[in-house]
Chain A
Amino acid sequence: MAYTVISDREVCGKKKGESITDKELVDAGVSAQALIAANHIKASNAATPSIKPATEGATN
């Protein structure tokens, strides 16, 4: 899991726009959930939907 720093404040030494991994957060002993709740980081590799919407007239 990777995150992007969205805060104007440095997070674990990373600046806004830089990427930070789960491992880096764990190594620093900080909580990803708390950082997300505080709008400091956001998940940067959100899964893309694997199911496409059905198209009209499609046959099985």
Chain B
Amino acid sequence: MARIVLTNAYISVGGVDLSDLVSSVSLSSTFDVVETTAFSSSATKTRVAGLADNSVTLEFHQDYATGEVEQTIYPLLGTVAAVIVKPNGSTTSAFNPSYSFNAVISEWTPLNGAVGELASASVSWPVTGAITKAVA
């Protein structure tokens, strides 16, 4: 299996393919660690996994034109939206798994940037429910 350099990641938010306006994507999944240590001869702590907590972080290039980033995300603010991310293009396969989930569109930065910089919007949205991984 080859290493992969991300050049063509697929990102869909609310059903809309916004891949060419996203410069960074990170899907994170962590579990609470619940301690279960009890008296035993092993003298070690024991633990089990608790609740999962997932989130997605995206860096958008801002675009106010019809059907672009601002018009797509703004109506979703404060709602739950379907998000799909894939490492390499839209075709799902064993080597290009699809991760689909619902994210709470909890933050948005309609205007962000300094003089001479590209207008961008960096967001971190919590996932509600499970992440579904598909390979076909």
Q: Does B14 contact A (CB under 8 A)?
A: yes
A8 vs B67: C-alpha distance when bound (angstroms): 7
Q: Is the CB of B15 within 8 A of A12?
A: yes
Which residues of B does A touch, CB under 8 Å? 14-18, 66-68, 71-72, 74-76, 79, 81-82, 90, 102
Bound form: Cα–Cα A33–B18 in Å: 18
Which residue in B72, B79, B82 is a CB contact (below 8 Å) of A38? Answer: B72
Enumerate chain A residues within 8 angstroms of B72, measured Cβ to Cβ: 9, 38, 40
Q: Is there contact, CB below 8 Å, between A35 and B15?
A: yes
The listed residue with most B CB atoms (<10 A of its CB), out of A6, A30, A38, A40, is A38
Partner of A34, one of B66, B68, B79: B79
Contacts of A11 in B (CB 8 A): 15-17
Tell me the smallest distance from the CB of A25 to a CB of chain B, in Å: 7
Q: Bound complex: CA of A5 vs CA of B82, how far in Å?
A: 18
Asked if B67 and A9 sit within 8 Å, CB to CB, the answer is yes
Q: Which residues from chain A sit less than 8 Å from chain B, CB to CB? A: 6-13, 25, 28-31, 33-35, 37-40
With A9-B16, A10-B17 as given contacts, are A30 and B67 in contact (CB-CB < 8 Å)? no
Task: Give the chain B neighbours of A7 by CB distance below 8 A.
Answer: 16, 66-67
**Contact yes or no, A28 B82, CB < 8 A:** yes
Is B71 within 8 A of A38, CB to CB? yes
Q: Contact between B14 and A30 (Cβ–Cβ < 8 Å)? A: yes
Q: Which residues of A contact B16 (CB under 8 A)?
A: 7, 9-11, 35, 38, 40
Contact A28 B75 (CB under 8 A): no
Docked CA distance A33–B53 (Å): 29
